[in-house]
Structure 1
Amino acid sequence: MKSWLKIIFHRSLWLAFSLFCCGFSAPLYAAVSRVISLAPSTTELAYAAGLGDQLIAVSAYSDYPEAAKKLEQVADWQGINVERIIALKPDLILAWRGGNPQRPLEQLATLGIKIFYSDVQKVDDVATELERLAAFSPHPDMAKESAASIRNKFNQLKQNYANLNPKPVFLQFGMNPIFTSSSHTLQSEIVSACGGKNIFAGSLVPWPQVNREQVLTRKPEVIVMGGTKAQKQQVADFWRPQMKVSIIALNDDWFSRAGPRIILAAEQLCRQLN
């Protein structure tokens, strides 16, 4: 019998024995000891929720906080290493609903491994995810305090910039092709909170592909992107022949990840946009 089949067999026996001895009276949520994160955003959520010491493996690009870099990687853009995850015997897996493939997660769930799906669409969802993770954390107060801090800071930003005349903003992701975001995204929400108006807010899909002419006809005053100074210059050069606008380059990890540091991106954007 292959080693991974043995692992499945023994884990299934353990699960059956647990149910036989304990029935279904055990709580669905309880503090866990072995956690695997399958996305950089869920890794950051885990640490903010007080689960850092319980993390045993993460995905590629899980580079914050520093301790995450030392953990084994079991997932990347190519997929999830199911056999290795089974061998590590986690009791909780943190998965990104929009980014992780569903089939291997369903396979892991059949072995009795709890799957926590993160599906952040708004800033408040980040706080809600932290509150949900508090049920698994040995430090639930840390998770709840992190959630409250995000809500308080974001509400304060919205109050501070509520009375400004909205500036037309183009959210740019990439140049060949060019993608942007609709109002159904975390990034668009923080633009609105900071006194901006997303020129593609009405798109029917969250991440539409657009062309140069579509952007020019909407006449943005500001371009918001995530990236370095060098990438900011590339965007400026791309538009310079036809459009001169202010460009705000935010810390890409803060801006692109649906995790606790989105509030840092919001604070950075509000300062620069105004």
Structure 2
Amino acid sequence: MKVALRYCLYAALCLPLTAMAQVAERVISLAPNLTELAYAAGLGDKLVGVSAYSDYPPQAKKIEQVASWQGINVERILALKPDLVLAWRGGNPQRPLSQLASLGVQVIYLDPQNVNQVASALDQLADYSSTPQIGHQAAEKIRQQLSQLRAQYGHKPSLPVFIQFSTQPLFTSAGSTLQSQIVNLCGAKNIFADSAAPWPQVSREQVLSRQPQAIVFPGTTQQQGDITAFWRDQLNVPMLAVNSDWFNRAGPRIMLAAQQLCAEIDAIKR
């Protein structure tokens, strides 16, 4: 009986210590969307290093940049003494990340491929925050927004659309991408959803043969004229510009892109 009591007291004392050991005090993010996720999960004030183009929220611009398209500055990261590094397996080079891990730095990989995984990433990061309710609430908000959009637009006829990411060369996305999921969520169909490659290069002829009824592209309304000119005399359909950071980054603002696109696609159908 005494042994059991001592064990219970020991467990009760150790559980809080185990939980506190997970809280990160010095965090580094190696991709702009991971920076956004960190802030949304309540870890923004713990960031001591970020990647290039980490510009949201605005205070992220003031944090030292330790990674860019040229690579990861391992020496500087080690000097900053992080207890947690957020990495993107699909975009960060593996060798420096393996080097950091071998030196005892905790590296976790976050690469959301759909909206539910964005929410799950927030839940995962919340466990490293001293205020985990912030991340969990942000995750739940995304799930609620997703359900609302599905209920509002999911039952409507599908509109074939072309998702255009550049002109020369002409790139699009396949059905496995987050961007394609957002289009589907809004009651539209990605005409290249069946592509085996996630980011296929296509020709004008391939696009025209699939007869899209709208074009979705990340960019500004000013760039809309360029896209229209690119398809002049070949494709006279609505051009839907969506903020590139909202649409391209797998972070909380993907729901802003979804809300905008769903309203615009619905308007075309009417």
Tell me which residue corresponds to 1:86: 78
Provide Cα deviations, 1:190-222, integer angstroms capped at 9, x if missing partner. Answer: 100101010000111111111100000000000
When structure 1 is superposed on structure 2, of 242-251 and 228-237 the one drifting more is 228-237
Tell me which residue corresponds to 2:29: 37
Tell me which residue corresponds to 2:205: 213
Tell me which residue corresponds to 2:240: 248
Tell me which residue corresponds to 2:3: none
Q: Does 2:152 match 1:160?
A: yes
Provide Cα deviations, 1:200-257, integer angstroms capped at 9, x if missing partner. Answer: 0011111111110000000000000110122211011000121101010001100000
Offset at residue 58 of structure 1 (A) = 0.4
Alignment of structure 1 residues 182-261 onto 2, 5 Å:
182-261=174-253
Q: Percent identity?
A: 58
Tell me which residue corresponds to 2:129: 137
Provide Cα deviations, 1:160-190, integer angstroms capped at 9, x if missing partner. Answer: 0122110000000000001101110100001
Amino acid at match of 1:149: K
Offset at residue 28 of structure 1 (A) = 10
Check conservation: 1:29, 1:135, Cα contact below 8 A.
no
Amino acid at match of 2:234: Q
Q: Does 2:54 match 1:67?
A: no
Paired with 1:242 and 1:75, the residues of 2 have a C-alpha distance of 42
Aligned residues: 250
Offset at residue 73 of structure 1 (A) = 0.4
* Aligned partner of residue 223 in structure 1, secondary structure: strand
Moved over 4 A (4+): 25-29
RMSD value over aligned CA atoms?
1.3
Amino acid at match of 1:220: P
Provide Cα deviations, 1:8-39, integer angstroms capped at 9, x if missing partner. Answer: xxxxxxxxxxxxxxxxx967970010000000
TM-score (norm 2): 0.90
Instruction: Give the one of 117, 126, 146 matched to 1:125.
Output: 117
Tell me which residue corresponds to 2:11: none
Tell me which residue corresponds to 1:54: 46
TM-score (norm 1): 0.89
Paired with 1:263 and 1:26, the residues of 2 have a C-alpha distance of 34
